[in-house]
Amino acid sequence: NAGVTQTPKFQVLKTGQSMTLQCAQDMNHNSMYWYRQDPGMGLRLIYYSASEGTTDKGEVPNGYNVSRLNKREFSLRLESAAPSQTSVYFCASRTGTRETQYFGPGTRLLVL
């Protein structure tokens, strides 16, 4: 099993450009999450999807949108990128019956 996969691994954007970060999991997990990690800080929750068809805001949702495309896939969209969104983005998933979240390898995003 691949676990949680993310694409792309690295991306450079100009201010105002849009892009979508993709995440997929093959563990049949119900819940999926998007986090960002900034220097000197732990991960902060952007959005999550507790189950297929539902999404909710986390700590830092401004400037982002998400789509739970199906049970496997959960995408994060930046409609108009800003330099403050330069960060490393992690996707995670967990089952409905266990508490542990499993993380993808991360996407490094640089907004110029």
Partner 1 sequence: AQTVTQSQPEMSVQEAETVTLSCTYDTSENNYYLFWYKQPPSRQMILVIRQEAYKQQNATENRFSVNFQKAAKSFSLKISDSQLGDTAMYFCASLSGGYNKLIFGAGTRLAVHP
Interface with partner 1 (CB under 8 A): 31, 33, 40-45, 48, 50, 56, 58, 88, 90, 92, 94, 99-103, 105-106
Closest by CA position to 47, among listed 36, 37, 39: 36
CB of 16 to partner 1, least distance (A): 27
Using the minimum distance from each CB to partner 1, give the nearer residue, 14 or 41.
41
Distance CA(81)–CA(78), nearest Å, equals 6
CB 82 within 8 A of CB 111: yes
Using the minimum distance from each CB to partner 1, give the nearer residue, 6 or 85.
6
